[in-house]
Amino acid sequence: MDINGVRRFLTENDNYTILTHISPDGDTLGCGFGLCRFLRGMGKKANVVNGDGIPHRYDFLCEDYSLQDYEEKCVIAVDIADAKLMGDRLKKYQQPGAVDLCIDHHVSNTKYAKETLLDPTAGAAAMIIYEILSGMGTITREVAACLYTGIATDTGCFRFENTDYRAHLYASKLIETGIDFYSINRKMFELKSRNVAAAERAIVSEMKFFLNDKVAVNVISLETIKKYGVEPAELEGIPSVALTIEGVLAGVTVKEKAVGTYKISLRTTDELNASQICSDLGGGGHIRAAGCEIKGELSEVINKIVAKISEYM
Protein backbone atom coordinates (compact mmCIF):
# COMPACT_ATOMS: atom_id res chain seq x y z
CA MET A 1 0.00 0.00 0.00
CA ASP A 2 1.33 3.47 -0.80
CA ILE A 3 1.14 6.54 1.40
CA ASN A 4 -2.10 7.80 -0.17
CA GLY A 5 -3.64 4.37 0.27
CA VAL A 6 -2.76 4.50 3.97
CA ARG A 7 -4.30 7.97 4.32
CA ARG A 8 -7.52 6.67 2.72
CA PHE A 9 -7.43 3.59 4.95
CA LEU A 10 -7.17 5.78 8.07
CA THR A 11 -9.93 8.12 6.90
CA GLU A 12 -12.39 5.43 5.83
CA ASN A 13 -12.11 3.03 8.78
CA ASP A 14 -12.67 3.25 12.54
CA ASN A 15 -12.17 1.32 15.81
CA TYR A 16 -8.42 0.79 15.54
CA THR A 17 -6.07 -1.35 17.58
CA ILE A 18 -2.48 -0.19 17.16
CA LEU A 19 0.11 -2.87 17.95
CA THR A 20 3.63 -2.04 19.17
CA HIS A 21 6.57 -4.45 19.58
CA ILE A 22 7.80 -6.18 22.74
CA SER A 23 10.77 -4.66 24.59
CA PRO A 24 9.16 -1.42 23.40
CA ASP A 25 11.42 1.44 22.33
CA GLY A 26 10.78 5.12 21.65
CA ASP A 27 10.03 4.50 17.98
CA THR A 28 7.33 1.85 18.30
CA LEU A 29 5.71 3.70 21.25
CA GLY A 30 6.08 7.11 19.59
CA CYS A 31 4.41 5.74 16.44
CA GLY A 32 1.71 3.98 18.45
CA PHE A 33 0.70 6.87 20.69
CA GLY A 34 1.26 9.49 17.97
CA LEU A 35 -1.01 7.68 15.52
CA CYS A 36 -3.57 6.90 18.25
CA ARG A 37 -3.77 10.53 19.36
CA PHE A 38 -4.10 11.73 15.77
CA LEU A 39 -6.92 9.25 15.02
CA ARG A 40 -8.73 10.18 18.23
CA GLY A 41 -8.35 13.81 17.18
CA MET A 42 -10.23 12.88 13.97
CA GLY A 43 -13.07 11.62 16.17
CA LYS A 44 -12.15 7.97 15.70
CA LYS A 45 -11.71 5.27 18.32
CA ALA A 46 -8.21 3.89 18.79
CA ASN A 47 -6.11 2.09 21.40
CA VAL A 48 -2.42 1.24 21.66
CA VAL A 49 -1.53 -2.30 22.70
CA ASN A 50 1.81 -3.71 23.87
CA GLY A 51 2.64 -7.31 24.77
CA ASP A 52 5.12 -6.21 27.49
CA GLY A 53 4.89 -3.50 30.09
CA ILE A 54 5.78 0.04 29.02
CA PRO A 55 8.90 1.30 30.88
CA HIS A 56 8.31 4.39 33.05
CA ARG A 57 10.65 6.59 31.04
CA TYR A 58 8.00 6.64 28.30
CA ASP A 59 5.22 7.76 30.66
CA PHE A 60 5.15 11.21 29.04
CA LEU A 61 3.97 9.66 25.75
CA CYS A 62 0.79 8.37 27.35
CA GLU A 63 -0.09 11.09 29.86
CA ASP A 64 -3.87 11.71 29.78
CA TYR A 65 -4.21 8.50 27.80
CA SER A 66 -6.72 5.83 28.75
CA LEU A 67 -8.09 2.82 26.91
CA GLN A 68 -11.29 3.37 24.96
CA ASP A 69 -14.09 0.82 24.94
CA TYR A 70 -15.26 -0.31 21.48
CA GLU A 71 -15.44 -3.28 19.19
CA GLU A 72 -12.15 -3.58 17.31
CA LYS A 73 -12.48 -3.39 13.52
CA CYS A 74 -8.99 -2.55 12.26
CA VAL A 75 -5.55 -3.69 13.38
CA ILE A 76 -2.42 -1.68 12.57
CA ALA A 77 1.13 -2.76 13.50
CA VAL A 78 3.78 -0.04 13.81
CA ASP A 79 7.57 -0.62 13.73
CA ILE A 80 7.01 -4.41 13.98
CA ALA A 81 9.22 -6.33 11.52
CA ASP A 82 7.93 -9.80 12.36
CA ALA A 83 4.66 -11.04 13.90
CA LYS A 84 6.73 -12.88 16.56
CA LEU A 85 7.75 -9.47 17.95
CA MET A 86 4.19 -8.87 19.18
CA GLY A 87 5.03 -11.30 21.97
CA ASP A 88 3.26 -14.30 23.47
CA ARG A 89 0.52 -12.25 25.10
CA LEU A 90 -0.66 -11.02 21.69
CA LYS A 91 -0.66 -14.47 19.99
CA LYS A 92 -4.07 -13.83 18.42
CA TYR A 93 -2.63 -11.02 16.28
CA GLN A 94 0.19 -13.30 15.08
CA GLN A 95 -2.27 -15.42 13.06
CA PRO A 96 -2.18 -14.88 9.29
CA GLY A 97 -4.62 -12.15 8.27
CA ALA A 98 -4.98 -10.75 11.80
CA VAL A 99 -3.17 -7.49 11.00
CA ASP A 100 -4.76 -5.24 8.37
CA LEU A 101 -1.88 -2.82 7.90
CA CYS A 102 1.78 -2.74 8.92
CA ILE A 103 3.75 0.52 8.82
CA ASP A 104 7.45 -0.24 9.17
CA HIS A 105 11.01 0.63 8.22
CA HIS A 106 12.84 -2.68 8.91
CA VAL A 107 14.50 -4.11 5.79
CA SER A 108 13.82 -7.56 7.32
CA ASN A 109 10.00 -7.06 7.45
CA THR A 110 8.34 -10.45 6.86
CA LYS A 111 5.17 -9.01 5.20
CA TYR A 112 2.89 -10.75 7.71
CA ALA A 113 0.14 -8.10 7.40
CA LYS A 114 -2.56 -7.95 4.72
CA GLU A 115 -1.14 -4.59 3.60
CA THR A 116 2.32 -3.14 4.29
CA LEU A 117 3.80 0.32 3.93
CA LEU A 118 7.52 -0.32 4.16
CA ASP A 119 10.24 2.31 3.77
CA PRO A 120 13.63 0.88 4.74
CA THR A 121 15.26 4.24 3.94
CA ALA A 122 13.43 5.88 6.87
CA GLY A 123 15.64 6.09 9.96
CA ALA A 124 12.56 5.69 12.16
CA ALA A 125 9.06 4.35 11.56
CA ALA A 126 7.93 7.63 13.15
CA MET A 127 9.22 9.40 10.02
CA ILE A 128 6.79 7.39 7.88
CA ILE A 129 3.97 8.17 10.33
CA TYR A 130 4.92 11.86 10.07
CA GLU A 131 4.74 11.70 6.26
CA ILE A 132 1.29 10.09 6.41
CA LEU A 133 -0.21 12.40 9.03
CA SER A 134 1.28 15.67 7.78
CA GLY A 135 -0.74 15.13 4.60
CA MET A 136 -3.97 14.57 6.53
CA GLY A 137 -4.25 17.49 8.93
CA THR A 138 -2.58 19.49 11.67
CA ILE A 139 -0.10 17.67 13.86
CA THR A 140 -0.74 18.81 17.44
CA ARG A 141 2.01 19.31 20.00
CA GLU A 142 1.00 16.06 21.77
CA VAL A 143 1.29 14.04 18.55
CA ALA A 144 4.52 15.88 17.67
CA ALA A 145 6.15 14.91 21.00
CA CYS A 146 5.42 11.24 20.24
CA LEU A 147 6.81 11.35 16.69
CA TYR A 148 9.88 13.39 17.73
CA THR A 149 10.63 10.75 20.39
CA GLY A 150 10.50 8.03 17.71
CA ILE A 151 12.85 9.88 15.36
CA ALA A 152 15.28 10.93 18.12
CA THR A 153 15.55 7.46 19.67
CA ASP A 154 15.97 5.46 16.44
CA THR A 155 18.62 7.85 15.13
CA GLY A 156 20.53 7.86 18.43
CA CYS A 157 19.65 11.52 18.89
CA PHE A 158 20.51 12.30 15.26
CA ARG A 159 23.98 10.71 15.42
CA PHE A 160 23.56 7.31 13.72
CA GLU A 161 24.28 6.74 10.03
CA ASN A 162 20.52 6.43 9.38
CA THR A 163 20.10 10.13 10.23
CA ASP A 164 19.45 12.04 7.05
CA TYR A 165 18.06 15.30 5.76
CA ARG A 166 14.50 14.02 6.24
CA ALA A 167 15.10 13.14 9.91
CA HIS A 168 16.30 16.69 10.62
CA LEU A 169 13.58 18.27 8.48
CA TYR A 170 10.73 16.38 10.15
CA ALA A 171 12.24 17.00 13.59
CA SER A 172 12.34 20.72 12.86
CA LYS A 173 8.67 20.67 11.78
CA LEU A 174 7.76 18.83 14.98
CA ILE A 175 9.80 21.25 17.11
CA GLU A 176 7.86 24.09 15.47
CA THR A 177 4.73 22.89 17.32
CA GLY A 178 6.37 23.87 20.61
CA ILE A 179 7.36 20.47 22.03
CA ASP A 180 9.84 20.36 24.91
CA PHE A 181 12.53 18.46 23.00
CA TYR A 182 15.17 19.21 25.62
CA SER A 183 13.21 17.32 28.24
CA ILE A 184 12.45 14.45 25.83
CA ASN A 185 16.14 14.04 24.96
CA ARG A 186 17.21 14.27 28.57
CA LYS A 187 14.74 11.49 29.49
CA MET A 188 15.75 9.36 26.51
CA PHE A 189 19.52 9.80 26.51
CA GLU A 190 20.81 11.09 29.83
CA LEU A 191 18.80 10.24 32.92
CA LYS A 192 19.37 6.92 34.63
CA SER A 193 19.03 5.64 38.18
CA ARG A 194 22.10 5.04 40.36
CA ASN A 195 21.36 1.30 40.22
CA VAL A 196 21.39 1.37 36.42
CA ALA A 197 24.66 3.36 36.41
CA ALA A 198 26.24 0.78 38.77
CA ALA A 199 24.96 -2.16 36.68
CA GLU A 200 26.32 -0.55 33.48
CA ARG A 201 29.76 -0.06 35.06
CA ALA A 202 29.83 -3.72 36.21
CA ILE A 203 28.83 -5.01 32.76
CA VAL A 204 31.28 -2.82 30.83
CA SER A 205 34.18 -3.68 33.18
CA GLU A 206 33.75 -7.33 32.06
CA MET A 207 33.71 -6.53 28.31
CA LYS A 208 35.47 -9.24 26.24
CA PHE A 209 37.33 -8.77 22.95
CA PHE A 210 37.66 -11.20 20.01
CA LEU A 211 39.11 -11.37 16.47
CA ASN A 212 42.06 -9.04 17.08
CA ASP A 213 39.90 -6.73 19.21
CA LYS A 214 37.56 -6.01 16.29
CA VAL A 215 34.59 -7.57 18.11
CA ALA A 216 33.59 -6.52 21.63
CA VAL A 217 31.05 -8.47 23.70
CA ASN A 218 29.09 -7.31 26.74
CA VAL A 219 27.05 -9.81 28.74
CA ILE A 220 23.89 -8.91 30.65
CA SER A 221 23.20 -11.88 32.92
CA LEU A 222 20.08 -12.55 34.98
CA GLU A 223 22.42 -12.53 37.99
CA THR A 224 23.58 -8.96 37.26
CA ILE A 225 20.00 -7.79 36.76
CA LYS A 226 19.00 -9.31 40.09
CA LYS A 227 22.09 -8.07 41.93
CA TYR A 228 21.54 -4.42 40.95
CA GLY A 229 17.74 -4.56 41.05
CA VAL A 230 17.27 -3.16 37.54
CA GLU A 231 14.86 -3.95 34.70
CA PRO A 232 16.48 -5.38 31.54
CA ALA A 233 14.84 -2.56 29.56
CA GLU A 234 16.79 -0.01 31.63
CA LEU A 235 20.06 -1.37 30.22
CA GLU A 236 19.34 -0.50 26.61
CA GLY A 237 22.32 1.89 26.62
CA ILE A 238 24.70 -1.08 26.80
CA PRO A 239 24.58 -2.11 23.09
CA SER A 240 26.04 1.22 21.99
CA VAL A 241 29.02 1.11 24.38
CA ALA A 242 31.20 -1.38 22.49
CA LEU A 243 31.30 0.67 19.29
CA THR A 244 32.64 3.68 21.18
CA ILE A 245 35.98 1.84 21.38
CA GLU A 246 38.48 2.54 18.62
CA GLY A 247 39.05 -0.43 16.30
CA VAL A 248 35.84 -2.23 17.22
CA LEU A 249 33.76 -3.06 14.10
CA ALA A 250 31.05 -5.11 15.82
CA GLY A 251 29.56 -4.59 19.25
CA VAL A 252 27.68 -7.58 20.63
CA THR A 253 25.38 -7.56 23.65
CA VAL A 254 24.42 -10.98 24.95
CA LYS A 255 21.38 -10.74 27.19
CA GLU A 256 20.25 -13.76 29.20
CA LYS A 257 16.46 -14.08 28.81
CA ALA A 258 16.11 -17.38 30.66
CA VAL A 259 18.61 -20.06 31.61
CA GLY A 260 20.10 -21.27 28.31
CA THR A 261 18.38 -18.64 26.14
CA TYR A 262 20.18 -15.48 25.04
CA LYS A 263 19.03 -12.44 23.08
CA ILE A 264 21.80 -11.00 20.92
CA SER A 265 21.93 -7.33 19.96
CA LEU A 266 24.48 -6.55 17.28
CA ARG A 267 25.71 -3.07 16.39
CA THR A 268 28.15 -2.60 13.53
CA THR A 269 30.18 0.06 11.77
CA ASP A 270 29.82 0.55 8.01
CA GLU A 271 32.16 -2.38 7.34
CA LEU A 272 29.64 -5.04 8.44
CA ASN A 273 25.95 -5.70 7.76
CA ALA A 274 24.29 -6.48 11.11
CA SER A 275 20.97 -7.42 9.50
CA GLN A 276 22.65 -10.04 7.28
CA ILE A 277 24.61 -11.58 10.16
CA CYS A 278 21.53 -11.80 12.40
CA SER A 279 19.29 -13.16 9.60
CA ASP A 280 21.74 -16.06 9.21
CA LEU A 281 21.01 -16.86 12.86
CA GLY A 282 17.23 -16.60 12.53
CA GLY A 283 16.84 -12.93 13.50
CA GLY A 284 16.91 -9.63 11.64
CA GLY A 285 16.81 -5.86 11.95
CA HIS A 286 18.63 -2.95 10.41
CA ILE A 287 21.91 -2.75 8.53
CA ARG A 288 23.81 -1.30 11.55
CA ALA A 289 21.66 -2.64 14.42
CA ALA A 290 20.03 -6.06 14.46
CA GLY A 291 19.24 -8.93 16.79
CA CYS A 292 18.63 -12.66 17.10
CA GLU A 293 18.16 -15.33 19.73
CA ILE A 294 20.65 -18.14 20.41
CA LYS A 295 20.18 -21.04 22.79
CA GLY A 296 23.00 -22.85 24.59
CA GLU A 297 25.65 -22.28 27.20
CA LEU A 298 26.98 -18.72 27.42
CA SER A 299 30.45 -19.53 26.02
CA GLU A 300 28.92 -21.49 23.10
CA VAL A 301 26.53 -18.63 22.36
CA ILE A 302 29.38 -16.12 22.27
CA ASN A 303 31.47 -18.43 20.03
CA LYS A 304 28.54 -18.85 17.65
CA ILE A 305 27.91 -15.13 17.11
CA VAL A 306 31.64 -14.29 16.93
CA ALA A 307 32.16 -17.10 14.36
CA LYS A 308 29.25 -15.74 12.27
CA ILE A 309 30.70 -12.22 12.37
CA SER A 310 34.12 -13.52 11.32
CA GLU A 311 32.53 -15.09 8.19
CA TYR A 312 31.65 -11.58 7.00
CA MET A 313 34.85 -9.84 8.04
Which lies closer to Mn ion via its Cβ, residue 149 or residue 224? 149
CB of 79 vs Mn ion, minimal distance in Å:
4
* Beta carbons of 130 and 27 less than 8 angstroms apart: no
Task: Report how far residue 193's alpha carbon sits from residue 294's, in angstroms, rounded to the nearest whole number.
Answer: 30
* Beta carbons of 264 and 88 less than 8 angstroms apart: no
Task: Report how far residue 47's alpha carbon sits from residue 35's, in angstroms, rounded to the nearest whole number.
Answer: 10
DSSP state of 137: S
Q: Does 27 bind Mn ion (CB under 5 A)?
A: yes
CB of 195 vs Mn ion, minimal distance in Å:
27
CB of 296 vs Mn ion, minimal distance in Å:
29
* Beta carbons of 171 and 44 less than 8 angstroms apart: no
Which lies closer to Mn ion via its Cβ, residue 198 or residue 287? 287
Q: Does 236 bind Mn ion (CB under 5 A)?
A: no
Task: Report how far residue 34's alpha carbon sits from residue 28's, in angstroms, rounded to the nearest whole number.
Answer: 10
Which lies closer to Mn ion via its Cβ, residue 142 or residue 154? 154
CA distances from 227 to 169, 206, 221 (A): 43, 15, 10
Task: Report how far residue 26's alpha carbon sits from residue 151's, in angstroms, rounded to the nearest whole number.
Answer: 8
- The residue type found at 185 is N
* Beta carbons of 124 and 155 less than 8 angstroms apart: yes
Contacts of 226 (CB under 8 A, 6+ apart): none
Nearest residue to 73 via CA among 3, 5, 137, 10:
10
From the centroid of its chain, how far is CA 15? 25
Which lies closer to Mn ion via its Cβ, residue 154 or residue 200? 154
CB of 2 vs Mn ion, minimal distance in Å:
20
CB of 121 vs Mn ion, minimal distance in Å:
13
Beta strands at 101-104 and 74-78: parallel, antiparallel or unpaired:
parallel
Q: Does 102 bind Mn ion (CB under 5 A)?
A: no
Q: Which of the ranges 24-32, 131-139, 141-149, 237-245 carries the binding residues for Mn ion, by CB under 5 A? A: 24-32
Q: Which of the ranges 33-41, 72-80, 133-141, 294-302 carries the binding residues for Mn ion, by CB under 5 A? A: 72-80
CB of 150 vs Mn ion, minimal distance in Å:
7
Q: Which of the ranges 51-59, 151-159, 237-245, 262-270 carries the binding residues for Mn ion, by CB under 5 A? A: 151-159
DSSP state of 37: H
Which lies closer to Mn ion via its Cβ, residue 18 or residue 125? 125
CB of 126 vs Mn ion, minimal distance in Å:
8
Options 1, 24, 78, 79; binder of Mn ion; rule CB under 5 A:
79
Site for Mn ion in 111-130 (CB under 5 A): 125
Q: Which of the ranges 150-158, 194-202, 234-242, 290-298 carries the binding residues for Mn ion, by CB under 5 A? A: 150-158
CB of 27 vs Mn ion, minimal distance in Å:
3
Contact residues toward Mn ion (CB under 5 A) are: 27, 79, 125, 154
